[in-house]
Amino acid sequence: MAPTGTPGPARPRDAADTPEAPTAVVVGGGLAGITAAIRLAEAGVGVTLLEGRPRLGGLAFSFRRGDLTVDNGQHVYLRCCTAYRWFLDRVDGARLAPLQDRLDVPVLDVAHPRGPRLGRIRRDPLPVPFHLARSLATYPHLSLAERASVGRAALALKKLDPADPALDGIDFATWLGRHGQSPRAIEALWDLVGIPTLNAPAPDASMGLAAMVFKTGLLTDPGAADIGWAHVPLGHLHDTLAGKTLDGLGVRTLLRTKAERISRTDDGRWTVEVPGETLGADAVVLAVPQTETHGLLPEGALDDVDRLLDIGTAPILDLHVVYDRKVLKRPFFTALGSPVQWVFDRTGSSGLTGPGQYLAVSQSAAQDEIDTPVSVLRERYLPELERLLPAARGAGVRDFFVTRERTATFAPTPGVGRLRPAARTRAPGLYLAGAWTATGWPATMEGAVRSGFSAAGAALSAFGRRHDHPLQEAA
């Protein structure tokens, strides 16, 4: 069931109607806003959620193309993404986006002089760091000396505190260079993981964010990096099921409703202007991207509000190819020696019928190709896929199209940490959320959900409402 979207009668549930229940307007129906709305409503706050688009889910959504249901971009999460996993549970979607039993990433090198070579990044059921020791020791894409130096760098990385501001000031490549990592080790291991998780290659990535990803994912809990992904369209999880959950909690969800202005009233409450209506509330959670936040924040809400505009963005490009036959046996793989980054089989989730196969090629940090015409991308990538997948040679291509997300993530550049604001603003009752806020995580679904927890938690504390943090670790 999709959430209902037509603006309803003039006033939302309001503190004036039910004296004990405070009210909140959440602006933005991405994962951050949905999470904040759920948490507030669970604590008895009367919530109105505004989303400018006709659907919930923000940057992680699906659309129809003929008979196919297409995700705007392949999304994966890791077992260590405890907040996103909470979200999946909360919307009753966890079984639809399962995790691998055990980390296993096929890495195909097509540039090897003796022909294509398949390696694996796998874990064993052993404690950290032994869980990856065998995989590293046998990883065929690095020399023995490189494998040993990766092991030493990993141990050095384990000692870092990702929240150390000094780390945010340097780039990941510099740190890797200082720790003896060769260009090949960076390409075949660190960037292989870093580019899709940070959305930047090592020279463009903050060491603080890189440390966060590698330490949390690979060097804490043995199962932390097991990969999960939706086996249904993202829209089913983030729009349909999330909408149902919000409806069940009594949240008033207004789609196609853009907040135009947010103001504090003389009595310390808030108004949010949307076309044709002014909504009143005791608190507002602003869960929109940084530029929109800058445009909507009332004066004085943040010190140096213009710093939000210094947070850059980075693109992700997805190439979608529908073959007339099965060309890939695995659910996904990643490539070396090719412009192709990660390839996922999306056949099952897309509703494709018949004997064909639908692959999504996910290209992170795609600054160089984000504006390249489809015809050029087709000419470039179809032969590459044939190089990687022998079964694609001679297969018919039933469809080829691209999705371009120019502002897919905030740019994780060195120094970005000091630009990211916390949930609390200087204006009492006004809170910020979004993957780009100060979560300590790169721009991920995990960061978005965490930011929703923080904003809702801050609002509930100010309301004097009892609430536990949903994640045990922070309880």
Ligand X SMILES: Cc1cc2nc3c(=O)[nH]c(=O)nc-3n(C[C@H](O)[C@H](O)[C@H](O)COP(=O)(O)OP(=O)(O)OC[C@H]3O[C@@H](n4cnc5c(N)ncnc54)[C@H](O)[C@@H]3O)c2cc1C
* Residues lying near ligand X in the complex (CB under 6 A): 27-33, 50-53, 58-60, 72-73, 75-77, 258-259, 287-289, 292, 316, 318, 405, 408-409, 434-435, 443-446, 448
* Comparison of 323 and 436: residue with beta carbon closer to ligand X: 436
Q: How far is the CB of 184 from ligand X (least distance, A)?
A: 25
CB atoms within 10 A of CB 299: 9
- Determine the Cα–Cα distance for residues 71 and 236; give it in Å rounded to an integer: 10
CB atoms within 10 A of CB 229: 19
Q: How far is the CB of 81 from ligand X (least distance, A)?
A: 7
* Comparison of 44 and 429: residue with beta carbon closer to ligand X: 429
Distances (CA, A) of 245 to 93, 105, 338: 11, 33, 42
Counting beta carbons within 10 angstroms of the beta carbon of residue 298, is it exposed (0 to 12), middle (13 to 18) or buried (19 or more)?
middle
* Comparison of 202 and 365: residue with beta carbon closer to ligand X: 365
Q: How far is the CB of 97 from ligand X (least distance, A)?
A: 11
Tokens found for residue 383: 């032969």
Alpha helices in 345-397 (DSSP H): 347-350, 374-388
- Determine the Cα–Cα distance for residues 400 and 377; give it in Å rounded to an integer: 10
* Comparison of 13 and 238: residue with beta carbon closer to ligand X: 238
Cis amide leading into 373 (omega within 30): no
* Comparison of 149 and 444: residue with beta carbon closer to ligand X: 444
Residue pair 189/182 in contact by the 8 Å Cβ criterion: no
Q: How far is the CB of 72 from ligand X (least distance, A)?
A: 6
* Comparison of 75 and 147: residue with beta carbon closer to ligand X: 75
* Comparison of 76 and 232: residue with beta carbon closer to ligand X: 76
- Determine the Cα–Cα distance for residues 223 and 151; give it in Å rounded to an integer: 18
Q: How far is the CB of 17 from ligand X (least distance, A)?
A: 23
Which phi and psi angles does 341 have, rounded to 5°?
-95, -85
Q: How far is the CB of 219 from ligand X (least distance, A)?
A: 19
Q: How far is the CB of 258 from ligand X (least distance, A)?
A: 4
Q: How far is the CB of 328 from ligand X (least distance, A)?
A: 19
- Determine the Cα–Cα distance for residues 5 and 239; give it in Å rounded to an integer: 12
Tokens found for residue 253: 């969800």
* Comparison of 53 and 465: residue with beta carbon closer to ligand X: 53
Which residues make beta-bridge pairs with 409? Answer: 314
Three-class DSSP category at 155: helix
Q: How far is the CB of 423 from ligand X (least distance, A)?
A: 12
Q: How far is the CB of 264 from ligand X (least distance, A)?
A: 17
* Comparison of 77 and 190: residue with beta carbon closer to ligand X: 77
Residue pair 197/362 in contact by the 8 Å Cβ criterion: no
Q: How far is the CB of 144 from ligand X (least distance, A)?
A: 32
- Determine the Cα–Cα distance for residues 276 and 287; give it in Å rounded to an integer: 21
* Comparison of 32 and 91: residue with beta carbon closer to ligand X: 32
CB-based burial, 150-183: b 16+ in 10 Å, e otherwise:
beebbeebeebebeeeebbebbbbebbeebebbe
Three-class DSSP category at 18: coil
* Comparison of 24 and 153: residue with beta carbon closer to ligand X: 24
Per-residue 3-state assignment (H helix, E strand, C coil) for 218-254: HCCCCCCCCEEECCCCHHHHHHHHHHHHHHHCCCEEE
